[in-house]
């Protein structure tokens, strides 16, 4: 049985690897942006899409620079996990600086009524397009993050869950199911 953190990192890796070839490549990030554009009918010059594309490009470049140890422009699961273990990917110090702008960019698209909150349907749409999260998993994520049970989640709840996903390694934490069930 792999460690709890290894299982979480394997799940995150799966959500990056949109073509399922066992490697994370620039094309996976480009596909995520294309999926988002198609899901929300965004033209290529839509400022919201341009912003997400820029952030996704920056994320790819960062991942490649710290995790691609072979220089082949592809990241294996082992490379991804090794980079994380060495503190090169997610650290508490850079967490908010990385995730806050990304979540705000996603909200500018996914929050179609502009009220600053996401319904379960909103959660399904953006997580399906960016991470290929199955609908049932996205609905369960929304249910778990909606701690006040009002039917909505916002950036603070999502940011808190992402933080728990990466930094709370105890089984059963609130962020554990952020990306659906963990691999065995």
Q: Angle 155-167/4-16 helices, nearest 10 degrees?
A: 130
For 107-163, the pLDDT digits (tens) are 999 999 999 999 999 999 999 999 999 999 999 999 999 989 999 999 999 988 988
pTM above threshold 0.85: yes
CATH superfamily placement of domain 4-169: EF-hand (1.10.238.10)
Q: Where are the domains of the chain?
A: 4-169
* Per-residue confidence band for 176, with pLDDT thresholds at 50, 70 and 90: confident
Neighbours of 126 (CB within 10 A): 21
For 58-102, the pLDDT digits (tens) are 999 989 999 999 999 999 999 999 988 777 666 666 777 778 899
């Amino acid at each position: 049985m792999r460690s709890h953190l290894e299982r979480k990192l394997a799940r995150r890796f799966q959500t990056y690897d949109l073509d399922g070839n066992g490697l994370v490549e620039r094309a996976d990030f480009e596909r995520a942006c294309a999926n988002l554009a198609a899901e929300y009918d965004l033209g290529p010059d839509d400022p919201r899409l341009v912003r997400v594309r820029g952030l996704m490009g920056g994320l790819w470049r960062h991942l490649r620079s710290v995790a691609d140890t072979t220089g082949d422009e592809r990241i294996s699961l082992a490379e991804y996990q090794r980079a994380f273990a060495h503190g090169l990917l997610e650290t508490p110090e850079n967490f908010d600086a990385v995730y806050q702008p990304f979540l705000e960019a996603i909200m500018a698209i996914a929050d179609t009524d502009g009220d600053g909150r996401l319904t379960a349907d909103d959660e399904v749409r953006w997580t399906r397009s960016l991470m290929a999260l199955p609908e049932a998993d996205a609905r369960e994520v929304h249910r778990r993050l909606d701690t006040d049970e009002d039917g909505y989640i916002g950036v603070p709840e999502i940011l808190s869950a992402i933080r728990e996903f990466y930094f709370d390694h105890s089984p059963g934490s609130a962020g554990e199911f952020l990306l659906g069930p963990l691999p065995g």
